[in-house]
Chains A and B, each alone.
Chain A
Amino acid sequence: MGLDQGELKSDLIAIRVESDKLLTPAEVVSRVQNFVATEEGTLLAITGPSHYLPDYGAGMFSYGNPHGVFHALLDNGNQDILLAHTGSSIKVFEGWNRSWKHLIGPSSVTPQLTYTIPNDTACRYPTQFVLCPNGIVIIPQSYTRAFFYDGTIVSLLGYDKPPSAPSGQGPETSAIGAPNDQGYFGSGAGFALGDLNPDFGYGRLGFVEIYDGGVDQGALLGSSYYLQYQHIDIFGNLGPLSGKSNQVAWRKQRVATGLDTIRKEVLWSGIEPGRDGTMGRILARSKDIRNIPTTDAFIVPSNIGGGTSGSFATIPDNVTRRFPDNIPDESLVIRPYNVVPIPIFKLACLALGRLWIGAIKGDQGLIKASLPGRWGTFTDDFDIYPDPAGGETTGMWAIPGGMLVFTTSSTFIVIPTDDGLRYRAHPVSLSIGCVAPDTIQNLPDGRVIWLGADGFYVFDGQSIQYISEEIREGFKRVNTARLAQATARYDRQNREYRCYLSLNGTIYNDFCYVYDPMWKGWRERADSTRMAGLCVTRDHRQYMLGAGSAANSGGTYVEGIYLLDHSNSNFTPATKSYVIFTSWLRNMVSDFRSSLKRVEIWLRNTSSGTITVDAYRDWQLAGGVADPTSPTITAYSPEQSPPLYNTVVLGTASTYWVARYPHWQKVDIYLPSCEVFKLKISSTSRIELIGIKIIETPHLNSGRKT
């Protein structure tokens, strides 16, 4: 197009990201709302969301308050698991039933595991899920027991209480001169206290001394034993050791013959079954504490042969309460783990081969590491307080060779000690922390990104950088009281980091900041969706799913599990506004005036909708100052009308699928004698924007002193 005298035309301004700054280059605009950057370098209007489980005619599934969603592949990628915490229950998706099954929840929903979990809209972290090699750790928020789900069985994670102490019976002495003559000792028929079944054979417990005078003469020494035990569940998690039993002791007993038959057996009872999911009990017995210089307990093998069945536990069941013990001291070799009750915690992270837990109830600055492979079994051996000031742990994230640990105002890295036996923490920053654990993600360039109290930060392995300087002004609108509930994931399909958080005082995460690592800048989504939790499927689909609600075409928010960036005929979302505000153009040369004459909008044919262009002048967002006020153009080239879905007639020459091609359209819009001006390009239809050009007439010598 030709230019009139004095007119200047800008180069094509390719818009990608936004900034709140007053003075920015023209290609960095002040708002890019509801667009994604395409592979070809354009901005395309977002679409969706749609329900992951559509209404197939029986009505929409009733979800309730959304709290989180998680996808995983278990069993070497063969089992596809989608979990959602909505309402009062945690659900697992059953595609074959076109429904969800209640996994954990109150009895009213007939779940697989009955347990009451929090369900309200208070500010909490989203429900945390941690993928382990053999299952998923589920941590509803906040401060409730954690669960473990292996794709089939769901159970509480670990044991939070030691079992009650057992009691023991053994030989007793009725009178001086008649040692060990009653109690659980003798020979006879039946299986009862006071008698032993002769089929049990000879005892193996105790020590004998041989007298010099006779071949078979000697004495049984006095001995004393105690027992402890711990539960083991189907996932291999161990419980704390019970208290010690009463000591079973017997007195010295001389015999003139039958020295090999004089040793004893004992009976342990009160060995309580564990909670559901318990597979066995591991008994730990002392050796003879009167004659062996240790009072430690050792694991009792299930039989002296080393265990032909159920070798994972002394008692490989969850029923038996008694154990007749004839395991000799020499078979006691292995000490049991000194397991502590699993605490209540809010956060977990799989790193360095262990499950680390943090934000522990009553000890918020402590992090603990599980035993390797036993994700719900904790000892005191790996306790760390990363923050010497005792700040509450607000995030943990595995990085190569270590783990990042955050408080709200500090960041630490946990690495193994030089000897590899322990772990230590050292600070990365004592001023920058994380406020929302569900926002920590890896970027494709290897950096870790998260939400801090005043914006977003990245860690590149060496240091922390602040990356949200460009949106600091807009960040003032964030509801900081609800930052903790923010949720974010990196979308591999569109290659952008999305963080949903609460804006303008709402209680929902109804606004999304989008960080584009390719263009190193920000965009935003405000598409009438509220996402309480996000996940990206760990399969070839790489779907981004959200637990939340979305407004339908009538403006009513519908709760559900949503598939973002996809649309289908089962759900019509509320109309979106696709908006681009340019920066204040000419901001660097505003000391002389210019008149805006025209704008060229570079588009790709997309739909039959329209695009509205508004113009503002001189740092003021007052409308109606341009002439014409709000001109519109079509979202496709009017010079060569493309075939439109549901419009073209089958069988005619124009009925064909086309590759959408770029074009530009002129918009005559006049703003006389401005210092600066700003454009708003908006539509409610699907559009794809390539860039803009500005045609203006600068008034270099307008008579004004400069």
Chain B
Amino acid sequence: MSWRFPILREEAGHICDVNMLNENIRPFNDEISGFLNEHNFAVNAHTSNTNLEHGAVIRIVSVSQAVDPAMGQSNPPPTATPADGFKVPTSGEWETVSITDATYETDDTICHIITSFQVQPSLPGGASEKYGIQFAIAIDGIILNETITGSVDKEIDVAGEGYSDSTFADPMVVEAIEPVAAGQHRFALKARMVPNQAYNQFTNLDYYMILNREMIVLELW
């Protein structure tokens, strides 16, 4: 807790009172018993992580996968399916993007979940937006509605149900701040293929690849 003060300022002429001495010390004893908070530390008091025990202020969990998207190898770019990439299935169901998936134990706290990744359609650089894709963050398998990219409502989204991309290795970020209860939780990036505005049938040649990708979970206090 924030600032503590001794009760009595000892002044010349006061009797050296052992009880008051104890009274004056007790507040500080209380503070180091676990009531310190942000008011007790000056700005920039801790400029190095070495001053803090791991997990003392924030705890960070991160997972990542590096993928070579073969940029610049040809023009137009190749329709690559690199080995470490994640191919989003055409089933229309939410699928967990591999690697961007972590399970660990948290306190009763607030988590800041940051996912960043590159997404690439099967025909990058193509002229038309043939099919859409959606992303979302899930905690314990529950999709956070507010993180879904796109609207799912064709009537009010001219791009169809989801984001439609024809760019080569397009970078994207989806993030959320969400309270969680104490216990073990699974954080994941989810993706699914969705129809475009014309509701065209998917073919085997239609897919999205998730390339370089990372998920960071900050456990805030």
Contact B5 A563 (CB under 8 A): yes
Contact A308 B145 (CB under 8 A): yes
Contact B152 A303 (CB under 8 A): yes
Interface string of B55-93 (1 = CB under 8 A from A): 000000000000000000000000000000000000000
Which residues of B1-54 have CB atoms within 8 Å of chain A's CB atoms?
A: 1-19, 21, 27, 30, 35, 37-43, 45
| Cα(A204)–Cα(B155), bound, Å | 10
Contact A645 B11 (CB under 8 A): yes
Does residue B151 face the partner (Cβ distance < 8 Å to A)?
yes
Contact B2 A567 (CB under 8 A): no
> Given A52-B3, A200-B158, A644–B145 Cβ distance below 8 Å?
no
Contact A96 B38 (CB under 8 A): yes
Stretch of A22-30, A163-171, A603-611 that contacts chain B: A603-611
Does residue A421 face the partner (Cβ distance < 8 Å to B)?
no
Kindly list chain B residues whose C-beta atoms are within 8 Å of the C-beta of A98.
42
Contact B9 A647 (CB under 8 A): no
Kindly list chain B residues whose C-beta atoms are within 8 Å of the C-beta of A543.
5
Chain A interface size, as a band, is: 35 or more
Query: Nearest-CB distance from B160 to chain A (Å)?
Result: 8
Contact B153 A304 (CB under 8 A): yes
Interface string of A300-332 (1 = CB under 8 A from B): 001111011111000000000000101000000
Stretch of A212-220, A619-627, A653-661 that contacts chain B: A653-661
| Cα(A541)–Cα(B13), bound, Å | 28
> Given A96-B42, A201-B155, A642–B16 Cβ distance below 8 Å?
yes
Contact B2 A606 (CB under 8 A): no
> Given A309-B151, A539-B1, A569-B9, A96–B15 Cβ distance below 8 Å?
no
Does residue B116 face the partner (Cβ distance < 8 Å to A)?
no
Contact A658 B17 (CB under 8 A): yes
Q: Give the interface centre of A302, A563, A645 by most chain B CB atoms within 10 Å.
A: A645
Contact B19 A659 (CB under 8 A): yes
Contact A95 B16 (CB under 8 A): no
Does residue A234 face the partner (Cβ distance < 8 Å to B)?
no
| Cα(A197)–Cα(B158), bound, Å | 8
Contact A309 B19 (CB under 8 A): no
Kindly list chain B residues whose C-beta atoms are within 8 Å of the C-beta of A566.
5-8
Which residues of B121-167 have CB atoms within 8 Å of chain A's CB atoms?
A: 145-146, 148, 151-156, 158, 160
| Cα(A237)–Cα(B82), bound, Å | 50
Does residue A42 face the partner (Cβ distance < 8 Å to B)?
no
> Given A96-B38, A303-B152, A647–B8 Cβ distance below 8 Å?
no
| Cα(A569)–Cα(B5), bound, Å | 11
Does residue B197 face the partner (Cβ distance < 8 Å to A)?
yes
Kindly list chain B residues whose C-beta atoms are within 8 Å of the C-beta of A540.
1, 30, 35
Kindly list chain B residues whose C-beta atoms are within 8 Å of the C-beta of A563.
5
Query: Nearest-CB distance from B31 to chain A (Å)?
Result: 9
Partner of B39 from the list A80, A608, A636, A656 (CB cut-off 8 Å) is A80
Kindly list chain A residues whose C-beta atoms are within 8 Å of the C-beta of B13.
607-609, 644-647, 685
> Given A96-B42, A636-B15, A685-B13, A657–B155 Cβ distance below 8 Å?
no
Kindly list chain A residues whose C-beta atoms are within 8 Å of the C-beta of B221.
78
Which residues of A537-591 have CB atoms within 8 Å of chain B's CB atoms?
A: 539-541, 543, 563, 565-569
| Cα(A185)–Cα(B35), bound, Å | 65
Closest partner residue, chain A, to B159 (CB atom): A199
Contact A607 B2 (CB under 8 A): no
Contact B18 A659 (CB under 8 A): yes
| Cα(A686)–Cα(B13), bound, Å | 9
Partner of B155 from the list A303, A308, A642 (CB cut-off 8 Å) is A303
Partner of B10 from the list A50, A645, A656 (CB cut-off 8 Å) is A645
Closest partner residue, chain B, to A641 (CB atom): B15
Query: Nearest-CB distance from B46 to chain A (Å)?
Result: 11
Query: Nearest-CB distance from B207 to chain A (Å)?
Result: 23
Partner of B151 from the list A94, A308, A568 (CB cut-off 8 Å) is A308
Contact A647 B12 (CB under 8 A): yes
Contact B152 A644 (CB under 8 A): no
Contact A311 B155 (CB under 8 A): no
Kindly list chain A residues whose C-beta atoms are within 8 Å of the C-beta of B5.
50, 543, 563, 566, 568
Kindly list chain B residues whose C-beta atoms are within 8 Å of the C-beta of A488.
none
Contact A309 B148 (CB under 8 A): yes
| Cα(A643)–Cα(B14), bound, Å | 8
Closest partner residue, chain B, to A307 (CB atom): B145
Contact B8 A96 (CB under 8 A): no
Query: Nearest-CB distance from B134 to chain A (Å)?
Result: 9
Contact B12 A660 (CB under 8 A): no
Kindly list chain B residues whose C-beta atoms are within 8 Å of the C-beta of A568.
5-6, 9
> Given A96-B42, A97-B43, A565-B7, A326–B156 Cβ distance below 8 Å?
yes
Does residue A191 face the partner (Cβ distance < 8 Å to B)?
yes
Contact B16 A686 (CB under 8 A): no
| Cα(A660)–Cα(B23), bound, Å | 14
> Given A95-B38, A541-B27, A645–B15 Cβ distance below 8 Å?
yes
Closest partner residue, chain A, to B22 (CB atom): A657
Chain A positions within 8 Å of B, measured between CB atoms, are 47, 50, 52, 78, 80, 82, 93-98, 191, 197, 199-201, 204, 265, 302-305, 307-311, 324, 326, 539-541, 543, 563, 565-569, 605-609, 636, 642-648, 656-660, 685-686
Q: Can you identify 5 A-B contacts, CB atoms within 8 angstroms?
A: A95-B40, A303-B153, A309-B148, A541-B27, A608-B13
The 7 A-B pairs of least Cβ separation, nearest first, read A95-B39, A303-B153, A646-B12, A657-B18, A567-B9, A608-B13, A326-B155
